[in-house]
Amino acid sequence: MSGSSSGRDGLPSELAAALDGTGLRSKVGATFLMLVSGLDGWPHVAMLSAGEVYAPTRYRVVLALHSDSATARALGATGRGLLLTIVDRKVCRTRVATTLLGPWSSNSGITFFAGDVEQVAVDAVDYAEVVHGIAYKLPDPERVVARWEATVAAMRELP
């Protein structure tokens, strides 16, 4: 697949809509991968939901990562990550320069990062399309979506 870079054009509108923090119940199953190179040279991956990635604008994303995860530690150390998504049957790779904002609360186990969209590449060709990426099913969607809504509400309040 070939890549088309949009640089500082920001997130594609379909991806911005997927990460706008609204209608979370309808976004159950969508998975967004945050890839980070650790200081040890190894890649680390967080599989995030629409309740853990919020895009207040096409140029900014806020991430809610588990504080004790290798991905959070690596992102805190490097400040650079790649958000890999499947949107509108295309692969979207978004380079994000992040800043550690800190924990949500002292006992939440969640740490927030804010990131500027640095570059976006969309892989698409006329002879093939991506039919799906990683997807999941929630055994207790009511409980999880309520937590997502609280998380996104907290992210909306961040600088």
CATH number for the domain whose boundaries are 3-151? 2.30.110.10
Parts of the chain with a pLDDT under 70: 1-8
pLDDT the model gives residue 152: 95
The residues near 73 (Cβ < 8 Å, ≥ 6 apart) are: 38, 44
- Judge contact between 111 and 69, C-beta under 8 A: no
The span from the CA of 60 to the CA of 158, in Å, is: 12
pLDDT the model gives residue 1: 45
pLDDT the model gives residue 129: 85
Q: Within 13 Å, how many C-alpha atoms sit on residue 54's CB side? A: 26
- With vertex at residue 86, the alpha carbon angle to CA 81 and CA 90, rounded to the nearest 5 degrees, is 115
Nearest alpha-carbon partner for 75 in 108, 48, 106, 105? 48
Reduced 3-state DSSP string for 59-99: CEEEEEEECCCHHHHHHHHHCEEEEEEEECCEEEEEEEEEE
The residues near 122 (Cβ < 8 Å, ≥ 6 apart) are: 3, 4, 6, 12, 90, 91, 92, 93
Q: What is the pLDDT of residues 73-95, one digit of tens each?
A: 999 999 999 999 998 888 999 99
